[in-house]
Structure 1
């Protein structure tokens, strides 16, 4: 177990490496996961998440690849909560915590490194001040990134504020388990233990309705190939799913060719899935010079459903003064062809 550090153009990178050569790289700007390297069925290691070739591009393009999203992930309709006017950065709405500043593209402080015989990790911290993006309260956000010797990568986000405020963080990593950023995710197999999903209107805002997934393209309770399901959904997947409470992982994603598999176990009540459908930008250089294309990656983002403050049935994202709240997700990586 070890941590490798390097710096380039003012950005600090920390690579967590376990005894089986699996690694996770996190940079301090945006507490961003820039790479996760795991082995395929032939023992070849490759990066299984989308990331820019140049660290500065994360900041230039502000496209959220691998970033920590806070204070609140997703949309808040009309950018308003109680008597607080939040930053309007998506038309008249508020998106991913606002942009004054945008926490996903600001430098985080490395509080400490963790290293034992069984795990390595980082603890990063960001303090967002009272009134930033319209939110009440000075909030300390702590991000823990821990890799263990069994291929489990755990992200924990803890928020603590001096005033009643909102907190609903997530991580915006796009997975491409093939390890080849020219291969689309259409043939990946996805399973989500969720009976309900959050319906969206024509503006991609939650309606507040939670239809059952039965007899719909949102039914991933049994493993399904992603591409045919996405083809039935106008604009692709960008929806939230209400996770069932189970003693086993709620989400599984599997690439049949490489054998790579990741499962998720989270204490968040929901998962937002983005298939990056119709998302293309030839300026981007990802994973060795590849341009961003539609359905090149699949984002699996545990959180409370977006716009929860306007839909009571979605759950609460309100936190009380000096009462820390933690959301934790464990990503277990494996290869089904290992014996």
Structure 2
């Protein structure tokens, strides 16, 4: 187990490496995961998340690939909570915590490193002041990344504020288990242990309704190929799913060609899944010079459902003053062809 550090263009990178050569690279700007390298059935280690080829591209493009999104991930309709006017950075709405500043593209402080025989990790910290992006309370946010020797990456976000405020963090990774984004996600298989999903209106905003997934393209309760499901959805997947809280993984993603499998277990009550359908940008240089194209990655974001403050059924994202609140998600990487 080791941690490799390097710096380039004012950005600090930390690569966590376990005893089986799996690695996770995190940069301090945005507490962002830039690469997760796991092996395929032939023993080739390749990156299974979308990431820019150059660190500075994260800052100039602001595309959220791998970023820690705080204070609140997703949208808040009309950018208002109680008497507080939040930053409008998505039309009249508030998106991903606002942009004054956008914490996903600000430098985080490395608080300490963890290094044992079976685990390596980092704890990063960001302090956002009272009134920033319209939120009440000065909040200390920590992001903890721990890689163990069994292929499990655990990400924890803890927020503590000196005033009652909002907190709904997530890690904004786009997964592609083919390795180095060799193929789109269409032939990968997805399973989500969820009976309900969050319906959206024509503007992409949550309606507050939670229909059952039965007999719909949102039914991923059994492992199913992603491509045909997406084809049945106008605009693709960009929806929240209400997770069944179980002792076994609530989300699984599988690429049968490479053999790579991702299993996710979280204490968050929901997961937002986006197929990046129609998301194209030739300016982006990803995973070895590729341009971003439709369905190149699948974003899986554990959190509470977006716009929860306007929909009681979604659960509360209000946290009390001086009480730390933690969201924790374990990502377990394996290969089905290993013996």
**TM-score bracket, shorter-length normalisation:** over 0.9
CA positional deviation for 1:181: 1.9
Equivalent-residue separation in structure 2 for 1:20 and 1:111 (angstroms): 26
Equivalent-residue separation in structure 2 for 1:246 and 1:164 (angstroms): 30
CA positional deviation for 1:247: 1.0
Maintained 8 Å contact 2:180/2:288:
no
Equivalent-residue separation in structure 1 for 2:264 and 2:17 (angstroms): 20
What's the TM-score once normalised by structure 2's chain length? 1.00
Maintained 8 Å contact 2:20/2:149:
yes
> What corresponds to 1:6 in structure 2?
6
Q: Does 1:33 align with 2:37?
A: no
Maintained 8 Å contact 1:88/1:98:
yes
Equivalent-residue separation in structure 1 for 2:134 and 2:227 (angstroms): 39
> What corresponds to 2:63 in structure 1?
63
> What corresponds to 1:299 in structure 2?
299
SS of 2:185's equivalent in the other structure is coil
Q: Deviations over 1:216-257 (max 9, x none)?
A: 000000001001001111111110000001110000000010
Maintained 8 Å contact 2:155/2:328:
yes
Gaps of at least 5 residues in structure 1 are: none
Over 3 Å off, 4+ runs: none
> What corresponds to 2:108 in structure 1?
108
Equivalent-residue separation in structure 1 for 2:328 and 2:288 (angstroms): 31
Equivalent-residue separation in structure 2 for 1:223 and 1:31 (angstroms): 32
> What corresponds to 1:174 in structure 2?
174
Q: Deviations over 1:154-181 (max 9, x none)?
A: 0000000000000000000000000032
Q: Does 1:128 align with 2:128?
A: yes
Q: Does 1:236 align with 2:250?
A: no
> What corresponds to 2:149 in structure 1?
149
> What corresponds to 1:86 in structure 2?
86
CA positional deviation for 1:303: 0.2
Maintained 8 Å contact 1:254/1:261:
yes
Q: Deviations over 1:281-322 (max 9, x none)?
A: 000000111110000000100000000000001000000000
Maintained 8 Å contact 2:261/2:333:
yes
Maintained 8 Å contact 2:191/2:253:
yes
Q: Deviations over 1:127-176 (max 9, x none)?
A: 00000000000000000000000000000000000000000000000000
Equivalent-residue separation in structure 2 for 1:11 and 1:289 (angstroms): 20
What's the TM-score once normalised by structure 1's chain length? 1.00
Equivalent-residue separation in structure 1 for 2:180 and 2:116 (angstroms): 32
Q: Deviations over 1:178-217 (max 9, x none)?
A: 0032410001000000000000000000000000000000
Equivalent-residue separation in structure 1 for 2:298 and 2:107 (angstroms): 26
SS of 1:247's equivalent in the other structure is coil
Gaps of at least 5 residues in structure 2 are: none
Maintained 8 Å contact 1:182/1:290:
no
The number of residues matched between the two structures is 339
